[in-house]
Structure 1
């Protein structure tokens, strides 16, 4: 299964062929989009479906409305759709992560990129926050620019992807926003520190203006240090990021959304730091629970040589005083994920995408 499409389809081929051959400096402050080839999202979604016709369908996921019925769309204050996703760096998936129940063929980039794009095109977020991006310049930047997004990328200083033979450069965080919905005020590329020592983890923070309301919105994306034994480092990285966010948002005067793979369960110090911050942040996915206080049982589920690993590591934090969550994309069940867990032929990453619709509070 899955060995199918090695050819690029029309819309995607045209867009990717327009990308520059030379990769820009991944550590530069900004790489503005230039003359993107316009892409029809419906046509590209059809091409993704055609490329993936030999694979099983992605898990079906419903939108959940925690506050009751579907809110009536407000012309002057429409919802903002935010997607958070660790998409799994190609070099790590094939060369380092050891997903022993995932056939190597399921990870081939020729088809896996269509699974990733299909997920994005199905939900069409206004803001897209990604981690473990190692195909930014040759895939995501030109495609997302053609779909009407502005993109920003920041690589890890010492990406583990570079240790893999035939890698595609360093992985990092990427932040995209829809140009028709937002204009850019400012961008901050941050290298996170632990006390005073710089670390290998980064964050992008952008201050935007919502064109519909004229109101500012600050958006951040990050990916904290992985694995057990590094809890104190993650706590220090989170504290450093929160300090920067307080400064950038003028101590919370600008509403804030922070997305990321925190590599931390809710019991960890870094989670507690975010939930008790003076910025008054709440975690959107707690709203899926009956009490509104409990995170999902998992946002990642994988099997490695060390055993099965299931946990909640990914979050969308938002300013609870200034923003409200209208709806969220539910979490697939164990049966939908399947006995071999993630990634798989029907899902491209070991992390699930998170998605919510938020709106500015009228008061």
Structure 2
């Protein structure tokens, strides 16, 4: 990162006069691009494992003047089964890069004040803290080093970040560096075994899209998981490129699994379950979707479970208005190994009335994409 990010990080890590998270007034909304004292990572790291609920309350207080947030509920697939403490909660979310939201995306119905980082940082953290995922996959992250990494590290998350080589954020004046994909995991639940940053290729030619692929060991069961976060090429006309990028990502995942599925004797161990989370920029009828559905990794898309027949994706995971018109469609997915993992619960999606006539982003919600949150468990 450049000098601007270093300066922001310095602002973020300044010492507090008091180590209380509960002393700030509800109106504490500083237009300074640096984070506020309530998100000070020095304090969070000193208080390893501090209660995320305290930080969540402070975010809510700082946003006290905003419209009500979306009230989303979990749909439990086995109504008679009580939520297990061993469930693995996975969250997928394109959080909207700050530079793109303010500079290039042109959300014509969204007030500029709703796009300011002084508000959005609290809304983003509020969403994460509300659902407290064990695995968090994010796209369009351009405030990793000065915000998300240090704050979430103070709450017990380890992470890896892969920036785009030619991020469009860099063309926006006053940007905070390139955007990219970030993958976080809770260290009380998982141990890191391996992680690779991938620049996706098409016909062996490197592209501008990336992925983070991580191998984890579940501390409670000893079982391994391969988790990937990615963001494929946007816009119509690039369907062939998305398909090639998806195939390249699957190849990298299979290579990492192969690396970890043989013990020193050379005897294969049981296959490793997979989560692949991302903004695919692809509707379900696209070739890249079909490629993942037909993968030898035996993948299924978790959010189909919300439909009555269990076969249909939601109507939308993104809903926005740009000068070219209104876009309401499904582009985001959590793919999982259906033979090794079961979906226990899914966070429902807000309806049209909740989202409102101006769509996303808004004063209530910081991104044009909705978060997807699922609880999974290992199959015996």
Is the 2:30–2:36 Cα contact (8 Å) retained in structure 1? no
The equivalent position to 1:324 in structure 2, one of 342, 360, 368, is: 342
Q: Which residue of 2 aligns with 1:265?
A: 283
Q: Which residue of 1 aligns with 2:53?
A: 42
Is the 2:298–2:338 Cα contact (8 Å) retained in structure 1? yes
1:175 and 2:183 matched: yes
Whole-angstrom distance in 2 between the partners of 1:230 and 1:69 = 45
Q: Which deviations, in whole Å up to 9, do the C-alpha atoms of 1:283-316 show, x marking residues without a partner?
A: 0000000100000000000000000001000000
Q: Give 1:114-129 correspondences, 5 Å limit.
A: 114-129=122-137
Q: Which residue of 1 aligns with 2:12?
A: none
1:200 CA displacement:
0.3
Unaligned runs of 5+ in 1: 20-33
The equivalent position to 2:305 in structure 1, one of 287, 292, 305, is: 287
1:247 CA displacement:
1.6
Whole-angstrom distance in 2 between the partners of 1:198 and 1:108 = 33
Q: Which residue of 1 aligns with 2:74?
A: 63
Cα gap change, 1:35/1:333 in structure 2, threshold over 3 Å: closer, same or farther? closer
The equivalent position to 2:233 in structure 1, one of 218, 225, 230, is: 225
1:69 CA displacement:
3.0
Whole-angstrom distance in 2 between the partners of 1:306 and 1:73 = 46
Q: Which residue of 1 aligns with 2:4?
A: none
Secondary structure of the equivalent of 1:144? helix
Whole-angstrom distance in 2 between the partners of 1:35 and 1:117 = 17
1:54 and 2:81 matched: no
Q: Which residue of 2 aligns with 1:29?
A: none
1:71 CA displacement:
3.3
Q: Which residue of 1 aligns with 2:319?
A: 301
Q: Which residue of 2 aligns with 1:5?
A: 29
1:4 CA displacement:
6.9
The structure having more radius of gyration, on CA atoms, is 2
Q: Which residue of 1 aligns with 2:355?
A: 337
The equivalent position to 1:93 in structure 2, one of 90, 101, 104, is: 101
Aligned-pair RMSD on alpha carbons? 1.9
Is the 1:221–1:258 Cα contact (8 Å) retained in structure 2? yes
Is the 1:281–1:318 Cα contact (8 Å) retained in structure 2? yes
Secondary structure of the equivalent of 1:150? strand
Is the 2:278–2:334 Cα contact (8 Å) retained in structure 1? yes
Is the 2:201–2:245 Cα contact (8 Å) retained in structure 1? yes
Whole-angstrom distance in 1 between the partners of 2:226 and 2:167 = 26
Q: Which residue of 2 aligns with 1:202?
A: 210
1:72 CA displacement:
4.9
Whole-angstrom distance in 2 between the partners of 1:132 and 1:285 = 21
Unaligned runs of 5+ in 2: 1-26, 262-269
Q: Which deviations, in whole Å up to 9, do the C-alpha atoms of 1:79-98 show, x marking residues without a partner?
A: 00000000000000000000
1:311 and 2:329 matched: yes
Compute the TM-score of the two structures, normalised by the length of structure 1. 0.91
Whole-angstrom distance in 1 between the partners of 2:46 and 2:173 = 31
Secondary structure of the equivalent of 2:201? strand
Is the 1:249–1:255 Cα contact (8 Å) retained in structure 2? no
Q: Which deviations, in whole Å up to 9, do the C-alpha atoms of 1:206-245 show, x marking residues without a partner?
A: 0000000000011000000000010000000001111111
Whole-angstrom distance in 1 between the partners of 2:28 and 2:132 = 26
Compute the TM-score of the two structures, normalised by the length of structure 2. 0.87
Whole-angstrom distance in 1 between the partners of 2:36 and 2:246 = 42
Q: Which residue of 2 aligns with 1:241?
A: 249
1:67 CA displacement:
3.1
